[in-house]
Structure 1
Amino acid sequence: MARVWSDGKFGFIDRSGRQVITARFDSAEDFSDGLALVREGEKRKFIDKTGKTVLEASWERVSAFGDGLAAAKDGKLWGYVDKSGKWLIAPRYSYARPFWNGLAAVTDGGRSLWIDRRGTIVWQTQP
């Protein structure tokens, strides 16, 4: 699916160029892990490839999904939510990047870390 701009709004087309999701969004990100983050007015949400809302994005900031998880900011800290919006890794990082191939880069204070989907540190920079 490709994101398109039409009459001041974003929508999505398939590989043949056929419009699959009507251009009705004020902003839209590309599909990742089967979902796209879009904004309609003040509401941000994740939609599936039919345009159906799957999850309201109520966090201050949120990334695209990768490996079934999205980095989300709650107050000053980042953690990871699943596609139902449940926290799988509680907010505890000063910054978090999306998961890719089972790992995600996070910042904990001044340390750069790589974590797995359970939140276990698999690599870190020297203090």
Structure 2
Amino acid sequence: MINIPTISVNEDFVTVFSEEAFPQHVRGGMVLTERIDAQNLRIRTSQAGYESDWHVAGDPTLILVQSGTLRITLRNGEHKDFSAGHMFIAKDYLPEHIHFDTEKHGHCAKVLGNETLLAVHIKLEQI
């Protein structure tokens, strides 16, 4: 079993950290998950000092950090840092009938240190 840190929402659509578990199986000497379908991928760079506004990810996206460190902060102040070799899934969202509340919803991101962030974003599915 591989557990991937995940940014998701609770029943009130407040962004929370959780983990998503993916069962693994031995195949030809490798330990693999089942196939995970994906829509597309993008390669991202963000300069040192980059900071996002508060937002939700929307469509579930697997982020693979290649270099640099990205801090994800939640509204409650909790944060996690992801550096080269780390991955996480961002899938916090709001249904169309719920308007983004700037005091309640989403997460923000910040590149820490002096190194440019290089990451691969793989869109897993469309909401």
Instruction: Answer whether TM exceeds 0.5 for this pair.
Output: no
Compute the TM-score of the two structures, normalised by the length of structure 1. 0.23
Q: Which has the greater radius of gyration?
A: 1
More strand by share: 1
Compute the TM-score of the two structures, normalised by the length of structure 2. 0.23
Higher relative contact order (CA 8 A, sep 6+): 2
